[in-house]
Amino acid sequence: MLSFLAPAGRDHFADCSCGHGHFSERLAQCLPADARLLCLDIDAEAVAATTRRLARFGEQCVVVRGSYVDLPDLAAGVGLGPFGGIVIDAGCFSREQIMSPDLGLSFSVDGELNMKLDPQQPGPTARDLIATLSARELAALFREAGESPRTARLVASAIERARASEPLTRTVQLARVIEQAVDAAHLRRGERHPATRPFAGLRQAVNRELPTLEQGIEAAVRSLRPGGRLCLLSYYGTEHALVRRKSRALERGCICPPDLPVCGCGRQSLLRRLLRDPLPPAPREVRANDSARSARLHVLERTAALM
């Protein structure tokens, strides 16, 4: 990803989902002395951790709490932009976040079924969704995260039966229900834990990840200078499809009927895709970080057209 960003002097960059700042630190190390980096995250603890991690870079790095949906306003507030490179990691969760019992993101760490990265954000927690959604609605969430229709229905039905006996309030408690249901039906495949996709579906719903991603792509395009690049990582089928659909729409120019002699829509291409197909991780990256196995890298370059 760093090779696509091609850091240059006097340019501005943004890591829009910095987590605890691991990638931000790598990017900062590659920046020329007169380039600057903006780091965003909605998780207050992640912002504090990234601030500490990047303290040695001084004023070159600015860390702000907020959503990348608001990137143009947040950047203007600290005097940064337009950007030569923007990174959006749609599934960016640091190990610290994943292992936090308070966030409840992991099926292997016991904690409250929360999953809200921003406690101030309105809407239900994962516990609320598990308690109130019908089996059909739960199955739809799990399918959005890439689960097969059969397994999604099976898991949703198992949750519905289990919550009739006792409230499902803990991560490990929910994971156990899912694991037992899948194993009883002999549907476990490969090394992936059967709770992986159901947990991802709940997390996406709680944090409104898909609508946020779509709005975030638009915000990034508005924030890029001509020739600036957006590097975006997606992780699940619905995320992959959303990024492809959105990038193709922004890449498309005139949409007038082909028999119209003069363009009447005035639409111009805002982006061009640098990769015909998104890049999967290299084997060494998967060996170093198993959660990267489903990641796909999309690289888009801003044109000079006005938005």
pLDDT tens for 111-123 read 999 999 888 888 9
DSSP state, 59? G
Nearest to 252 by CA among 265, 237, 239: 265
The confidence score (pLDDT) of residue 92 equals 61
- Fold for 122-206, please state it: DNA polymerase; domain 1 (1.10.150)
Task: List Cβ<8 Å contacts ≥24 apart for 264-267.
Answer: none
CATH 3.30.70.120 applies to domain 2-95+209-302: no
The confidence score (pLDDT) of residue 290 equals 75
Radius of gyration of the CA atoms of the chain, in A: 21
Q: What is the mean pLDDT of each run of 10 residues along the chain (307 residues)?
A: 83 94 94 94 93 96 96 97 95 79 92 90 94 97 93 97 96 97 86 90 94 96 96 90 93 84 84 92 83 88 89
**Boundaries of every domain in the chain:** 2-95+209-302, 122-206
- Structure tokens, 272: 């061009």
For residue 141, give the amino acid letter: L
The confidence score (pLDDT) of residue 127 equals 97
- Structure tokens, 154: 């099976």
Spatial separation of the C-alpha atoms in residues 297 and 231, rounded to whole Å: 7
Run of H or E including 29: helix 22-30
Task: Give every CB contact of residue 14 below 8 A, 6+ residues apart in sequence.
Answer: 37, 38, 39, 40, 68, 71, 75, 80, 81, 83, 85, 86, 87, 220, 223
| Unique residue bearing structure tokens 């949703």 | 156
Cis-peptide into 119, omega within 30 deg: no
pLDDT in tens, 203-238: 999 999 999 999 999 999 999 999 999 999 998 888
Spatial separation of the C-alpha atoms in residues 278 and 17, rounded to whole Å: 19
The confidence score (pLDDT) of residue 256 equals 84
The confidence score (pLDDT) of residue 120 equals 82
The confidence score (pLDDT) of residue 260 equals 83
8 and 65 Cβ atoms separated by less than 8 Å: no
For every residue of 210-234, DSSP letters joined together read: HHHHHHHHHHHHHHEEEEEEEEEEE
Do 122-206 and 2-95+209-302 fall under one CATH topology? Answer: no
- Whether pTM > 0.75 for this model: the answer is yes
The confidence score (pLDDT) of residue 71 equals 97
